[in-house]
């Protein structure tokens, strides 16, 4: 269970967001650019400290402003996939994949072979990032996040730099993750198609506020419209 209750003022954005992810599934953070999605992700991962609130995963408290708790990112065990793959160019794929386990001395909860098989990247392990296609590089980045993860995953618009054909293929891999690993996933997007394909729950965010939190077909915007209804 991931329990999120945070408040943060950044410039004109006054954030106040609370919801609970109760089981391993894909929860989409959906909203326009500037709504506060990435700011919330950075609070979860420990890059930004909330002004007030609490972040708890299972029995571990990551942030509790009343008690003065705010764990550093390397102690939270969160796997993070960015918009760009951010692979180390001087390392082969196999070294990029395993690099994430070292911060904080963490140990992976998943087997290297299982990650490689699931993402179909076994034939890439001896190659360097500059020899990979965009889709291959992002699959390696997802694998690195999985190998580093021992709590939950955050994906920040991981398909935004890919063309439509590559997006479709990568979504098939992403959809397999909850079925094969016991990690909840926070998936940041402003794509309705990605929400419909991937998300089991949606947190609709606007101007730093949680507008609606429900399954996609029951999420309503401020006008009472269901944006993901068929």
Q: How does residue 168 score in pLDDT terms, banded at 50, 70 and 90?
A: confident
pLDDT of residue 82: 84
What are the tens digits of pLDDT across the range 64-111? 999 999 999 988 989 999 877 789 999 999 999 988 665 555 566 678
Cβ count near 179 (within 10 Å): 8
Q: How does residue 186 score in pLDDT terms, banded at 50, 70 and 90?
A: very high
pLDDT of residue 99: 81
Taking the C-alpha atoms of residue 22 and residue 223, their distance in angstroms, rounded to an integer, is 28
pLDDT of residue 197: 93
SS (H, E, C) the chain: CEEEEEEEEECCEEEEEEEEECCCCEEEEECCCCCCHHHHHHHHHCCCCCCEEEEEECCEEEEECCCCEECCHHHCCCEEECCCCCCCCCCCHHHHHHHCCCHHHCCCCCCHHHHHHHHCCHHHCCCCHHHCCHHHHHHHHHHHHHHHCCCCEEEECCCCCCCHHHHHHHHHHHHHHHHHCCCCEEEEECCHHHHHHHCCEEEEEECCEEEEEECHHHCCCCCCCCCCCC
Q: What mean pLDDT comes out for the span 31-37?
A: 91
What are the tens digits of pLDDT across the range 129-165? 999 998 899 999 999 999 888 889 999 999 887 888 7
Taking the C-alpha atoms of residue 50 and residue 78, their distance in angstroms, rounded to an integer, is 17
Q: In percent, how much of the chain has pLDDT > 70?
A: 95
Can you name the CATH fold of 24-45+73-218?
Rossmann fold (3.40.50)
Q: How does residue 12 score in pLDDT terms, banded at 50, 70 and 90?
A: very high
pLDDT of residue 141: 93
Q: Between 224 and 195, where is the model more confident?
A: 195
Q: What is the mean pLDDT of the chain?
A: 90
pLDDT of residue 107: 61
Q: How does residue 13 score in pLDDT terms, banded at 50, 70 and 90?
A: very high
User: pTM for the whole thing?
Assistant: 0.91
Q: Residue 7 to residues 14, 17, 40, 116, 211: CA-CA distances in angstroms?
A: 8, 7, 9, 38, 15
Q: Is the pLDDT of residue 183 over 70?
A: yes
Q: In percent, how much of the chain has pLDDT > 90?
A: 67
Sheet holding 201-206, edge to edge: 69-70, 60-64, 52-57, 2-10, 13-21, 209-214, 201-206, 26-30, 185-189, 153-156, 79-81
What are the tens digits of pLDDT across the range 15-26? 999 999 987 789
pLDDT of residue 100: 64
């Amino acid at each position: 269970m991931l329990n999120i209750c945070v408040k943060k003022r950044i410039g004109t954005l006054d954030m106040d967001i609370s919801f609970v992810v109760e089981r391993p599934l894909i929860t989409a953070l959906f909203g326009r650019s500037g709504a506060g999605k990435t700011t919330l992700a950075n609070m979860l991962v420990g890059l930004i400290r909330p002004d007030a609130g609490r972040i708890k995963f299972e029995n571990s408290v990551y942030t509790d402003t009343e008690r003065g708790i705010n764990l550093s990112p390397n102690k939270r065990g969160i796997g993070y996939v960015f918009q760009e793959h951010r692979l180390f160019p001087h390392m082969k794929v196999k070294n990029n994949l395993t690099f994430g386990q070292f911060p904080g001395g963490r140990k992976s909860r998943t087997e290297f072979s299982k990650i490689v098989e699931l993402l179909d990247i076994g034939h890439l392990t001896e190659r360097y990032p500059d020899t990979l296609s965009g889709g291959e590089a992002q699959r390696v980045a997802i694998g690195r996040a999985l190998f580093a993860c021992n709590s939950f995953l955050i994906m920040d618009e991981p398909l935004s730099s890919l063309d439509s054909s590559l997006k479709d293929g990568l979504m098939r891999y992403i959809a397999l993750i909850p079925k094969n690993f016991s990690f909840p996933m926070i998936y940041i997007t402003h794509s309705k198609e990605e929400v419909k394909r991937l998300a089991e729950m949606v947190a609709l965010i606007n101007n730093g506020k949680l507008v609606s939190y429900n399954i996609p077909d029951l999420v309503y915007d401020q006008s009472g419209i269901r944006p993901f209804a068929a």
